[in-house]
Structure 1
Amino acid sequence: MVYTSQQAQGSYADRMDLPMLLDPALLRAARQIYRTYYEVHPELTQRPYGVAIDRYTHRGKLIFRSKVILLPQESFVPFSQLEAEIY
């Protein structure tokens, strides 16, 4: 039986649901980025999908779109991992 690469690897959405192991420092930086955003903009209620964060500088941005495009040095921290310690 022959599979296309997408069938063999699963869809993008399937891979996004898998638990990821992240550098704890990267996770702390992503949580701080989210906290800072929430403190500056408490009136905004839209929940982000996560944070795109540079693995070297730990600078990042909240992502509000379902399709994430990352630079080679960036990692994506999903909101489900951010909220584990926030709430």
Structure 2
Amino acid sequence: MYALRQEQTNFNNQRNQPPLLDPTVIRAAGQIYYTYCEVHPEIMGQPSGVAINRVNHRGKVIFTNHPVLLPEECFVPLNQIESYMY
């Protein structure tokens, strides 16, 4: 019984980790984010990341913590975008 509980705990910990993303998707998300910041400097609020299509790299800046995504989209958190760009 202990082994079963331990496996469940390990599975739950792995689910909370963000999935690994293709570097080109992260780069495209960074371009979307920085373009948004340049075009809309007056917008207040902290974005949480970018929802981006994995195929055509079109995306939108997202301000909620739990976005609803289309099947071909993925979410790139802002901290992952910033760490990749620097």
TM-score range (shorter-chain normalised) is 0.7 to 0.9
The correspondence of residues 14-33 of structure 1 with structure 2, limited to 5 A, is 15=16, 18-33=17-32
Cα deviation code 1:30-79 (max 9, x no counterpart) = 00000000000112231111111000010001111122111110011011
Q: Percent identity?
A: 51
User: After TM superposition, what 4+ stretches of structure 1 lie above 3 angstroms from structure 2?
Assistant: 7-11
The correspondence of residues 1-40 of structure 1 with structure 2, limited to 5 A, is 9-10=11-12, 15=16, 18-40=17-39
Checking the alignment, whether the CA contact within 8 Å between 2:26 and 2:84 is kept in structure 1 is no
Determine the C-alpha separation between the residues in 2 that align with 1:20 and 1:43. Answer: 32
| Superposed CA RMSD | 2.4
Determine the C-alpha separation between the residues in 2 that align with 1:8 and 1:27. Answer: 27
Offset at residue 21 of structure 1 (A): 1.5
* Structure 2: gaps spanning 5 or more residues: none
* Structure 1: gaps spanning 5 or more residues: none
The correspondence of residues 8-87 of structure 1 with structure 2, limited to 5 A, is 9-10=11-12, 15=16, 18-86=17-85
**Count of aligned residue pairs for this structure pair:** 81
- TM-score using structure 1 length: 0.75
Shift of the 19–65 alpha-carbon distance from structure 1 to 2, 3 Å rule, reads closer
Offset at residue 20 of structure 1 (A): 3.1
Determine the C-alpha separation between the residues in 2 that align with 1:19 and 1:58. Answer: 19
